[in-house]
């Protein structure tokens, strides 16, 4: 069964007009597609300051006729995220969720370390991923999504705050061949690589685009339009990704 996903990341909603306008533009584009996506994945840094009002705005902007699945980033705050975005009691535990769509398990994982920009899949999250994957039917495919990439993207800004303690994730991927790919955000640049023998896809950011060292010294290109990654997972298990900007 072919699965069509859109992935967006790093909205950094801050109550300002610019961030709101860019996020709204992206969601309007997705809602207007002639063929609806099966789901939208939002891979972190939804809010800029982790304030409840930012998540209340996110809930309004992300409302759609298709599932919108989220995970937190280093700018997000778990209690406010749970309360204002998920409609749950505020709590400080990691926010891990699995969603089943078109024969595929989508694991939205919390790689955040409160108070730090670097990421880590803690022991409880690794155990949850392992148990979730182990409990799936044999023919179910899986995608794992979280915020910080587990590899360098060759820019000093995101590379100073990437995912740490990678051995546990690598061991999980080796133990669970049903995982097709790893999807992340955080780097503010559309990128692809590999990790532990799996495709690694980094979504572009909604708020601003990272200018790579060969493009100039100032890292933030605020003039680039927001970007989207479209992932097609076909019935052979092959993942193909297409990138678009929203003018």
Give tens-digit pLDDT for 60-116.
999 999 999 999 999 999 999 999 999 999 999 999 999 999 999 999 999 999 999
Q: What is the pTM of this model?
A: 0.97
Task: Extract the residue ranges of the chain whose pLDDT is less than 50.
Answer: none
Residue 140 has a pLDDT of: 97
Alpha helices (H) in 73-215, listed in sequence order: 78-80, 123-134, 156-159, 167-175
CB atoms closer than 10 angstroms to residue 9: 32
Residue 209 has a pLDDT of: 98
Residue 1 has a pLDDT of: 62
């Amino acid at each position: 069964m072919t699965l069509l996903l859109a992935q967006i990341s790093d909205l950094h909603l801050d109550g300002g007009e610019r961030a709101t306008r860019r996020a709204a533009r992206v969601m309007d584009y997705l809602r207007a597609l002639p063929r609806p996506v099966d789901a939208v994945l939002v891979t972190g840094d939804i809010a800029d300051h982790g304030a409840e009002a930012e998540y209340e705005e996110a809930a309004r902007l992300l409302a759609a006729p298709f599932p919108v699945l989220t995970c937190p980033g280093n700018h997000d705050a778990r209690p406010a995220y749970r309360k204002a975005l998920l409609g749950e009691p505020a709590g400080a535990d990691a926010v891990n969720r699995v969603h089943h769509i078109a024969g595929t398990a989508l694991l939205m994982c919390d790689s955040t370390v409160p108070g730090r920009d670097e990421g880590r899949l803690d022991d409880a999250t690794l155990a949850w991923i392992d148990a979730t994957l182990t409990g799936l039917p044999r023919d179910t495919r899986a995608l794992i999504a979280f915020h910080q990439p587990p590899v360098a993207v060759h820019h000093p800004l995101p590379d100073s705050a990437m995912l740490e303690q990678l051995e546990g994730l690598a061991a999980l991927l080796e133990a669970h061949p049903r995982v097709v790919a790893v999807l992340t955000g955080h780097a503010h640049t559309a990128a692809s690589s590999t990790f532990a023998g799996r495709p690694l896809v980094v979504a572009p950011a909604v708020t601003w685009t990272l200018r790579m060292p060969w493009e100039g010294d100032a890292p933030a290109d605020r003039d680039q339009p927001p970007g989207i990654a479209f992932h097609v997972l076909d019935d052979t298990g092959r993942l193909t990704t297409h990138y678009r900007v929203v003018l």
